[in-house]
Structure 1
Amino acid sequence: MEQHPEPKPHQNTVSTYLKILVEKGYLSTEKEGRIFRYNVLVPFEEYRKFLLKELSHNFFHNSGKEILSFLIHEKLISQEDMKDLNLNIEIKPFKVKEEFEYANEVLNPKKDKKKDKDKKKKKKKDQEK
């Protein structure tokens, strides 16, 4: 909480988010006296790769050219930077669909809960019959 910028969220809000992330397996906890210490379980590179692909898909129509054009237009990268990179890269199309387990669970948490609730309701009805 000390490191969070102003306006700081309510402590209960932060606790709720952390609890959800622990339940989904993205964080682990260690109890230290009266407090919990949270540790990240999701590899940073996997999360970074997922975010970049989502950004590309949702905002740039899966076009690397559009991303580079945007970065140059917004002056986030210069043409000189592009020249310095010596981009002699051969791009080969491939049809491997990469799944991001962690991110899919975070982005679609309600679907799983709804299925669980529906299963419980069905089980309850079956027991009543």
Structure 2
Amino acid sequence: MLRIGSTVLGASDVRRAAEFWAHALGYVPRDEIEETWAVLTPPGGVGQNISLMLSDTPVQERPRVHLDLYSDTPDDEIERLLGLGATRVDWADYPPDADFTVLADTEGNRFCVIDKPDVSSP
């Protein structure tokens, strides 16, 4: 049986990306953060990891894979993430009733904050 162990994001500065995502998600380094690789894990080790890998590949404007972060207080979380170094993405494809906001991390990787009142359900 397979299970997802980690989502890997490319980064030109692994330490900076690891710091952003650790603060954004409340995760902790699983091991020592290296120049080329870091794995962040939820406190207690239960849940999916986020890994950062050194990459010189350009950031995709419309990535095929991205993170959707659910929140019951999306406006507050967006402001908190912006304070950590995230940036708003000028997204032309928002539907009229959009329940999500597109942001980019410190490396330019796109992710969404979604208004999901019950964060415990998928």
TM-score normalised by structure 1 residue count: 0.25
Larger Rg: 1
- Greater RCO (Cα-Cα under 8 Å, separation 6 or more): 2
More strand per residue: 1 or 2? 2
